[in-house]
Structure 1
Amino acid sequence: MSLGDSRRVWVAGLLVILCWTCAIASAVASEGEAPHSAGEDAQTGRSAELLARMAEAVRSLDYEGTLVYLHENRLEAMDLRHQVVDGEVHERLISLSGPIRAVVRAQERVMCVMPNGHPISVEQNGQSRFLETEGIDPDALVDNYEVRMLGAARIAGRDTDVVGIIPRDALRYGYRFHIDRETALPLKSDLIDQEQQPLEQLMFTSVAVRSPEGPAPESSGQPVRSAPATSAEGRWRFLEVPAGFELVMHDEMKQPGGSIIEHFMFTDRLSAYSIYIDQDMENGLEGAASIGAVHAAGRSLRGYQLIAVGEVPMQTVQQAVGGVRLKDAADSQ
């Protein structure tokens, strides 16, 4: 993973990439939705079917369109292109308003051009994509979310069914997907809080969809949302983990100067946050930072820089980073 020469670039780049990739899986308030009924609330099988079709459509179809993204009273327009070439996914996201920004995903890397023109290149795990819908399993969400049908709506001139994934507490965000009846693509989605209020809003205003000419991409690896829980090994412990979240991944990322950043990922099977631990203290994050619905909290601990970041509420990342301990100092911190 190469995120530039300085720690400040690493922090800024991480937040930018998370913001852009998460934003495409989130966003736009639903005007004119049909009210749900008791019968629709019981249609868990229908919700699961639609979510599974949506994940497959996002992965395997060719599509291109213009999206509008509303957050913090700012409206942005973006162009998204997803293409399957010889079984490999190629994606491109370009801002059409405001500062020039672009994200390109192809093969094993993601390239992000920041507003100041600074390029960032990041290795990817083979699962992440701009419309991230992989691995959503309603049966695995019941403790922390309510999954139900929310009626129908018309988006970009196309009929959609609306599925809500509503958080049961304030430690996580949920989604409201408007799923195209013909192609199963999510044409509109809301990132919502516990009260179903939209935090970010995203919607296709125009879209063209077609089946790829060549073979469909093969699934590689396991989505984080369905990864088995694991336990922390080595020198780090995680106390007071936010309710419902489990550690599912630990890896190490080598920096250009030879230092190692340890990365731990936690998920509740829908939302996720990461904790990054680095011995490079220069320009580290102390306190809190936000970009839209992506929140980060950082602190130092015995010569290490700790940062928790994710598309979760601020209190979640603050609790997460506050519970990190060195094993040999767990009783004294």
Structure 2
Amino acid sequence: MPALSTWRSQRLPRTPRRGRALALLLAAALPLPGLAASCPEADPEALEWLDKMSRSSHHTAYHGVVTLQRGEDMQVMQISHSVSGGASSEQLTKLTGQGAQVVREEHPLNCVHTGHRLLQLGARLESGECGVASYYRFQVAPGERIAGRKAVQVRVEPRDMYRYGYLLELDRETGLLLRSSTLGRGDLVLERFQFANLSFGAPMPSSGDIDVVYEAGHPTPSLDTGEVGVTWTIGWLPRGFAPTESGPAVSGRRTYTDGLAAFSVFLEPLSRDIRSGEGVAREGSTTSYTRGLSLSGQPVLVTVIGEVPVNTARMVADSVRWTP
């Protein structure tokens, strides 16, 4: 759900507005005739469901109440998503704690962001591009009834140590994501999103007193962190992660996704040296990793925030370099 990922981006300072597993997984199933020959280890049914999910959250009008659990912390939110005149709009209202609301208006239906595109493989499979099937294993099984809807379960297992696994429960009729569990080592549930109730059609009215309203516009990289005055590169990324935007080479932020997970890298030049070391904070499946580095004698602070394990964030941060 785009609105949910937008709200979550407000939870941590400078957290990227991501197209997270919650918003990037839905849509109308497409036949994949070339899959068996080009990607023999892939599950064609699972990839069809991922394609269906990726489109569903964007093109389907729905509203409901969802829960988001991270450890002992539980949040309850109301989501409303409408589709009209070639565009979609979302409204997300937090029903627990501070009364906050995120609103995004008039997002064009023909605007396909990187995360959605990576899940909508279609004809690319026939040309030998396996996409997410190169980095994850998938297994489809009958799902539970969630929010009164029959579901299909898609289990997602990473093929390497650089990303998390997922257990997805999708609406059998529309492909909408009904429940998503992010799994760490030993299938430990790091975070769980779930619809408590769900209806399709006209949006529900806003409920409760609203203290803060955030307007979430279309991503504009130049507005996020400004420029750092020098060009820089990231020398190592886990396989399959692609940039979500094409900002200036001197932008202070870079964001990447593999279709299911996303993270951002921030670079901040410092005016003086700082003691070497690192800082780590975790909230559910979101890692915030900060490290002080010296690049060609210039002290900088590198921060990686996103849905990846700590070791992945550390390796990405350590690979940052100035570009001559």
TM-score (norm 1): 0.66
Question: 1:55 — aligned with what?
Answer: 54
SS of 1:312's partner is coil
Question: 1:319 — aligned with what?
Answer: 315
CA contact (8 A) 1:167 1:194 kept: no
Question: 2:151 — aligned with what?
Answer: 160
**Structure-to-structure mapping, 1:12-51, within 5 angstroms:** 12-15=12-15, 22=20, 24-25=22-23, 44-51=43-50
Question: 2:255 — aligned with what?
Answer: 265
CA contact (8 A) 2:118 2:131 kept: no
Q: Aligned in 2, Cα 1:184/1:238: closer, same or farther, shift over 3 Å?
A: closer
CA contact (8 A) 1:76 1:95 kept: yes
CA contact (8 A) 1:250 1:262 kept: no
**Structure-to-structure mapping, 1:113-132, within 5 angstroms:** 127=112
Q: Aligned in 2, Cα 1:49/1:67: closer, same or farther, shift over 3 Å?
A: same
Q: Aligned in 2, Cα 1:278/1:247: closer, same or farther, shift over 3 Å?
A: farther
**Structure-to-structure mapping, 1:83-232, within 5 angstroms:** 83-107=82-106, 127=112, 135-136=118-119, 139-210=130-201
Question: 1:75 — aligned with what?
Answer: 74
CA positional deviation for 1:281:
6.5
Q: Does 1:66 align with 2:65?
A: yes
C-alpha distance after superposition, 1:246-293 (max 9, x if no partner)? 45344149xxxxxx74322333443232212234669x9962233322
CA positional deviation for 1:191:
1.3
C-alpha distance after superposition, 1:97-153 (max 9, x if no partner)? 122232211247xxxxxxxxxxxxxxxxx5569xx7663257312332111113321
SS of 2:181's partner is strand
CA positional deviation for 1:11:
10
CA contact (8 A) 2:255 2:264 kept: yes
Q: Does 1:244 align with 2:239?
A: yes
Q: Which amino acid aligns with 1:320?
A: V
CA distance in 2, matches of 1:43, 1:247: 20
CA contact (8 A) 1:15 1:291 kept: no
User: What is the aligned-residue RMSD (CA, Å)?
Assistant: 3.8
Structure 1 segments of 4 or more deviating over 6 A?
A: none
CA contact (8 A) 1:271 1:312 kept: yes
Question: 1:276 — aligned with what?
Answer: 266
SS of 2:313's partner is helix
Q: Aligned in 2, Cα 1:43/1:154: closer, same or farther, shift over 3 Å?
A: farther
Size of the aligned set, in residue pairs, is 259
SS of 1:52's partner is helix
CA contact (8 A) 1:167 1:193 kept: no
Q: Aligned in 2, Cα 1:179/1:211: closer, same or farther, shift over 3 Å?
A: farther
CA contact (8 A) 1:179 1:187 kept: yes
CA contact (8 A) 2:138 2:156 kept: yes
CA distance in 2, matches of 1:281, 1:57: 47
Q: Aligned in 2, Cα 1:17/1:237: closer, same or farther, shift over 3 Å?
A: closer
CA positional deviation for 1:43:
8.1
CA distance in 2, matches of 1:246, 1:96: 34
CA contact (8 A) 1:64 1:82 kept: yes
TM-score (norm 2): 0.67
SS of 2:161's partner is coil
Structure 1 residues 65-74 or 164-173, which shifts more?
A: 164-173
Q: Aligned in 2, Cα 1:281/1:66: closer, same or farther, shift over 3 Å?
A: farther
Q: Does 1:309 align with 2:308?
A: no
Unaligned runs of 5+ in 2: 1-9, 25-40, 122-129, 204-217, 219-229
Q: Which amino acid aligns with 1:311?
A: E
Q: Which amino acid aligns with 1:162?
A: Q
C-alpha distance after superposition, 1:43-101 (max 9, x if no partner)? 81211222222222211111000011111212221100111132221111111112223
Q: Aligned in 2, Cα 1:270/1:76: closer, same or farther, shift over 3 Å?
A: closer
SS of 1:135's partner is helix
CA distance in 1, matches of 2:198, 2:242: 37
Unaligned runs of 5+ in 1: 1-9, 27-41, 109-125, 213-220, 222-233, 254-259, 329-333
SS of 1:142's partner is helix
Q: Which amino acid aligns with 2:309?
A: P
